[in-house]
Structure 1
Amino acid sequence: MSQPTPRLPHLTDDIFLTDGGTETWLMYKRGFELPEFSAFHLLTDQQSAAALREYYTAFANIAVTLGTPFIFDSLTYRAGRDWGELLGYSSEGLAEMNHKCFELYRDCAAEMGLAAQDTVISGCIGPKGDAYQTNQDLNAESAEAYHAEQIETFKSAGADIVTALTLNTTDEAIGIARASAKAGIPSVIAFTIEKDRKLRSGETLKQAIKTVDRATSNAPAYYMINCSHPVDFGPVLTNEPWANRVRGLRANASSLDHGTLCQLGHLEEGDPDELARQYVDIRAAHPTMNVFGGCCGTDYVHVEKIGRALLAAA
């Protein structure tokens, strides 16, 4: 008997939760080294694999407790070809690791009793290059060709959706959206907003969304903002129609800029209660938003508080 098809965020008004800053949790809360800021390879070690299971089961338990669907994300963020080669993986070995990540998600969902219709498996994609460089040598066509490989791996592993995080150029977003559409998997594009309230490429969020939608015939299922803080991205979310395309938030715990955060040498966890209140305020102004998680410095503590606050305000 086949499993029920999971609900997807863009097809319902229900609140969905997703994970937090996986990499920062692994580094600062569990002490693991992450070469190339990559986490997927930790599944090859028994101790780190156990930590990852702990991390994802905690999120699955929150979703079960609060009665929300959960989107498993993040671990394949740097499991694309270029990053895999830097870590010594062949294309076959890298595909195997992408599959293992999905197996971990399904195991954690089953262990916590998260219903199949509430379990969304997302194939998470990161930028081809460094997320905090504009990678101007990458155009839409080369981005599509590059990311199609990982997206096809996601398809064979049974992904329900593709989520591209920390994008800072529209060309790469267009390429990913086109590759996902050709593979027949809905895509989610998450842009990162800088302190000047623009993408690193210099585009406003409004310009970026309109550019991608125009070039792809509105291919992305929806957009998100991640690796930014509400004090930076909140003001750019106007009440214009384009803002309704933004359905999800994965904020940093701290409002410090990316360069400062990377140089601190310790975790900035911020105030989880304050972050939850900020999420509630943003959703009150933009009620079509229904996907909520965290990014750098956040973990299941933040996401639980966010989920409880949003449900209480609903």
Structure 2
Amino acid sequence: MLEQSGGLPHETDAIFLTDGGTETWLLYKRGFELPEFSAFHLLNDATAREAIREYYRAFADVAVELGTPFIFDSLTYRASRDWGRLLGYSDEGLAEMNHKCLDLYREVASEAGMKPEHTVISGCIGPKGDAYKTNDVLSAHGAQDYHAEQIETFKAAGADIVTALTLNATAEAIGIARAAEAAGVPSVISFTLEKDRRLRSGESLQEAIETVDAETGGAPAYYMINCSHPMDFGPALTGSAWADRIGGLRANASTLDHGTLCQLGHLEEGNPDELADQYRDLKAAFPKMNVFGGCCGTDHLHVEKIGRRILDA
């Protein structure tokens, strides 16, 4: 667990790194099948477990080399109730898997020689449904009730923070932020944008952030953008106060839209140097951003380039 002297991203201006496209790496770089796109399920297989350890160790080594804190994240993205039941888990069994994921992070951090004050354990939350489809029936109250279970599990497992990735509607974001606040755990809300630079539910990024803040009393520690490319989300950012609430980025390697990426059947790794330059420019334009990682198609090589570009700027 993070020592208090280090501070979480919203408590300091230090640069934090986090991981990349976990699922795409496991699928295309290591050839594992992901039932229901659930990476956590692979911990049941010894070979896959070692691959996951290798994945996180590579990122941890980058953070140690660059001297930055690192946020361990992503593996529990689909370790919530509905997805767990599709894979045959009982509520107790699913809670155990969430604990195992966070324990793995701690083991890797120790093996990599990471300083305790540089080690952030994040409980990653994914949408209740498909991130690339609109879930019109999920209310803020329903989202709070659903996600509270996994958040309480993260709290019991000693998570420093919870991060909700790839959200495409404000109602679910509001519910998650409220559930985390009720549990006494800081939350991060990360939205994904479509090619029209809006959430799939139709809101602009500004509308989404301002709505969640208004409905939760500014409960999220900060916001992020993930599973989009800087060429798409960059123009949606402005220099106004709402954009200062965005604390981090986890971009896709490719500029292709979500639907196309899901159907390709191979990995699109993009141009890591170009992506790193885009991150550097966004950091310069929005200096309060201090959390940087990747999403689909990225791995530790992308994140290393991003980290070096930002630190050298």
Q: What's the C-alpha RMSD, in Å, of the aligned pairs?
A: 0.8
Q: Which residue of 2 aligns with 1:118?
A: 118
Name the aligned partner's letter for residue 154 of structure 1.
F
Q: Contact 1:205–1:236 (CA<8 Å) still a contact in 2?
A: yes
Name the CA distance, whole Å, in 1 between partners of 2:75 and 2:181: 22
Q: Contact 1:7–1:120 (CA<8 Å) still a contact in 2?
A: no
Q: Which residue of 2 aligns with 1:245?
A: 245
TM-score by length of 1: 0.98
Shift >6 Å, 4+ stretches: none
State the number of aligned residues: 312
Q: Contact 1:206–1:243 (CA<8 Å) still a contact in 2?
A: yes
Q: Which residue of 2 aligns with 1:295?
A: 295
Name the CA distance, whole Å, in 2 between partners of 1:199 and 1:290: 23
Q: Contact 1:167–1:192 (CA<8 Å) still a contact in 2?
A: yes
1:280 aligns with 2:280: yes
Name the aligned partner's letter for residue 280 of structure 1.
R
SS state at 2:68 partner: coil
TM-score by length of 2: 0.99
| Unmatched 5+ stretches in structure 1 | none
SS state at 1:31 partner: coil
1:4 Cα deviation from its structure 2 partner: 2.7
Name the aligned partner's letter for residue 193 of structure 2.
I
Name the CA distance, whole Å, in 2 between partners of 1:142 and 1:86: 19
Q: Contact 2:192–2:225 (CA<8 Å) still a contact in 1?
A: yes
Name the aligned partner's letter for residue 12 of structure 1.
T
1:208 aligns with 2:208: yes
| Unmatched 5+ stretches in structure 2 | none
Name the CA distance, whole Å, in 2 between partners of 1:40 and 1:7: 27
Name the aligned partner's letter for residue 4 of structure 1.
E
User: What pairs with 1:121-200 in structure 2 (closer than 5 Å)?
Assistant: 121-200=121-200
In the TM superposition, what whole-angstrom CA distance separates every residue of 1:109-142 from its partner, at most 9, and x where no partner exists?
0001001110000000000000011111100000
Name the aligned partner's letter for residue 182 of structure 1.
A
TM-aligned CA distance change 1:35 to 1:3, over 3 Å:
closer
1:53 Cα deviation from its structure 2 partner: 0.4
1:3 Cα deviation from its structure 2 partner: 7.3
SS state at 2:164 partner: strand
In the TM superposition, what whole-angstrom CA distance separates every residue of 1:134-181 from its partner, at most 9, and x where no partner exists?
111100000000000000000000000000000000000000000000
1:264 aligns with 2:276: no
Name the aligned partner's letter for residue 22 of structure 2.
T
- Is the deviation greater in 5-14 or in 212-221? 5-14
1:7 Cα deviation from its structure 2 partner: 2.0
Q: Contact 2:2–2:121 (CA<8 Å) still a contact in 1?
A: no
Name the aligned partner's letter for residue 55 of structure 1.
Y
Q: Which residue of 1 aligns with 2:230?
A: 230
Name the aligned partner's letter for residue 71 of structure 2.
I
Name the CA distance, whole Å, in 2 between partners of 1:3 and 1:248: 19
User: What pairs with 1:79-90 in structure 2 (closer than 5 Å)?
Assistant: 79-90=79-90
Name the CA distance, whole Å, in 2 between partners of 1:266 and 1:89: 29
Name the aligned partner's letter for residue 170 of structure 1.
T
